[in-house]
Structure 1
């Protein structure tokens, strides 16, 4: 550790200042703030969630309160208005805070109330990305990526402004909080952060052209059953350069999409069965965490969580622990799903490839197929949500 510039004591040049208070803007300030704030809430009667440390819960008799903390942005909800008012009064005495009322924006997310629930979108943030990229008036396209595009990196030139590519692609990663339809495209672009080529920048511009025409898209949150289900898929040897497969996964709570993942697999798989089996294990880890998190919200999953896959051989491998010569090289952690099936935390089921919503996260699709899968994962524009609410009236 070193003393701050211009604060060195000439008599004690090797000494440093002793931190008594974390100043806003310093690196340690968020951690100190969360420690102070959470300690006060624990004294009030809250307890920290083991599934998510930023979630604090209050359960007393029939009163349930939940607080979600991200640095100095806080969401508070519960089933008792009077207890919420008491908590806010106590917080105002201890901390300098503002009550912004019913949530409308949180960390760049626009939250719109409708007659059927909520709609989450990031149209303002998406517009700012287009301004930063200088593509506000670009021409629209119907899909994020073309179904076929050049992947030969040896015959292409380096993009002359790699820092610009880094900034725009990095900004798109945050947009995926409410735009899972961009997941595969942004994942592909992020794989070339270290050395973007002109081809990659052209594909980035195509993604921005798609964002331009779909600014109002977002995720609806509606009252529905609290049954958790998952879908796992893979595109075998999708990358023509290293021949690695792509893992795609999504989870629904009732009809609401709540979790999704896409990643390139860490090693080359020898068969489509192995390529599909690995996403099942990845999905299992996330579903186990979601089950634990839902239990904190008093929504205990009494039945095994259904996990759907379109590969019959992968399903047989997950349910039958018999030694297979062609799969003996698969790492032990990939067989984690077998234990979860045996203990009845999960149950695996077959789904037709045509009905597999996770297929949106594993490959670039035609415009017709892309729209079909966007509808399956319930992503919709806010205008459609409002029109449906008017019809229900």
Structure 2
């Protein structure tokens, strides 16, 4: 999803059109390299030879190899056409010849194409038509359930239709709205532990909510909290889930804009030390902007218990660094290299000091060595870790329960807004 947002950001800044294609019966196009046999299907059984089996010449839906066969077939066609696969994302294909640039993104049977030459793109589409059963859906408007709305300033990504469908399925379409997805007091274990009577319902709603976070980083932390209780949800867990849905009720049209701006990466990294009172593990969170556009974010509970806030922040900084290195490689392949170090904003001075001088001593010797690769990327000039005041830390929204005033302020700074804003 970060690749999709990055590609759309590049297209908006270069005034390129984006076209959406759809392949009909994609898995039937795949070629089979092995000898595979199947029983005669019902309704097509040979009366004279009912025990014979059919040898497959082409791929079928239901085969474990079908997705791979289709991808190999499509990739082979693009490579023969002159495309090369991206090293950062195997679903991204790049064409650069005679000052013609075309970027193609494939997700199963959905294709997104953009480039600087409309005639060359139409020639590519015609070539694809000759090889595959293809639908040209025109300018991108709905890609993987994400509504792409054109505005005077650029694009707006929202999942309003999906949010309204989710509210309707949960029976909360007419519920009262809440101002935040969680409450500040939710951190305390003061509520009942009575098991919820319908765990499958909880799991289904929590799973559906995960997909909504593609364009809604403001609910990413609340969804992360909800998904930690899928195994044995309690009544209180379901009440928290309902509160999240009631927040979505009032913000169904919210999303993130993609506008023009100076295309420089910058990242905010944060952690909430020992925030989970059940196992005392910390929450890591980071978000990355490409110019004015939010393109990547993450909320994750740390795997091990951190012995100090410095260690928790350091682990989050390590995860943010990994994402930044990948994004720098991705935007460079999209012909927009970053010529200066990417600034990672962190509000913990001890973690910054440890990153710049990872000395092994009694308080840090238990931290895995691979987390100390931050220093290497600082030396190489890929990143620069900078201190930021806690009040200006945008990643707070991804790691903590916040008051309404603080939550709304950070939501605005993360560019999450209404469709008509």
Structure 1 residue runs without a partner (length 5+): 385-393
Q: Which position in structure 2 is the counterpart of 1:159?
A: 196
Distance 2:100 2:323 in 1: 29
Secondary structure of the 1:139 match is coil
1:12 positional shift: 12
Secondary structure of the 1:101 match is strand
1:24 positional shift: 3.8
Q: Which position in structure 2 is the counterpart of 1:326?
A: 363
Distance 1:145 1:379 in 2: 17
Secondary structure of the 2:352 match is helix
Tell me the matched-pair count: 383
Secondary structure of the 1:380 match is coil
TM superposition outliers: structure 1 runs of 4+ over 6 Å: 5-9
1:180 aligns with 2:226: no
1:212 positional shift: 0.5
Contact 1:150 1:199 in 2 (8 A): no
Distance 2:362 2:53 in 1: 62
Contact 1:153 1:197 in 2 (8 A): no
Q: Which position in structure 2 is the counterpart of 1:220?
A: 257
Q: Sort the Cα spacing of 1:150 and 1:76 in 2 relative to 1 into closer, same or farther, 3 A.
A: closer
Distance 1:38 1:3 in 2: 27
Q: Which position in structure 2 is the counterpart of 1:296?
A: 333
Q: Which position in structure 1 is the counterpart of 2:25?
A: none
Q: Which position in structure 2 is the counterpart of 1:49?
A: 86
Q: Which position in structure 2 is the counterpart of 1:74?
A: 111
Distance 1:4 1:216 in 2: 49
1:3 positional shift: 5.9
Distance 2:210 2:299 in 1: 12
1:20 positional shift: 2.2
CA shift digits 1:327-349 (9 cap, x unpaired): 11101111121111111111100
Greater alpha carbon shift after TM alignment, 15-24 vs 66-75? 15-24
Distance 1:153 1:169 in 2: 22
Contact 1:269 1:275 in 2 (8 A): yes
Q: Which position in structure 1 is the counterpart of 2:389?
A: 352
Alignment TM-score, normalising by the size of structure 1: 0.93
CA shift digits 1:176-204 (9 cap, x unpaired): 00000001000000011111111111100
Contact 2:37 2:54 in 1 (8 A): no
1:310 aligns with 2:340: no
1:338 aligns with 2:375: yes
Alignment TM-score, normalising by the size of structure 2: 0.87
Contact 1:104 1:112 in 2 (8 A): yes
Distance 1:5 1:266 in 2: 49
CA RMSD of aligned residues (A): 2.3
Contact 2:283 2:301 in 1 (8 A): yes
Q: Which position in structure 1 is the counterpart of 2:403?
A: 366
1:289 positional shift: 0.4
Q: Which position in structure 2 is the counterpart of 1:387?
A: none
Contact 2:186 2:401 in 1 (8 A): no
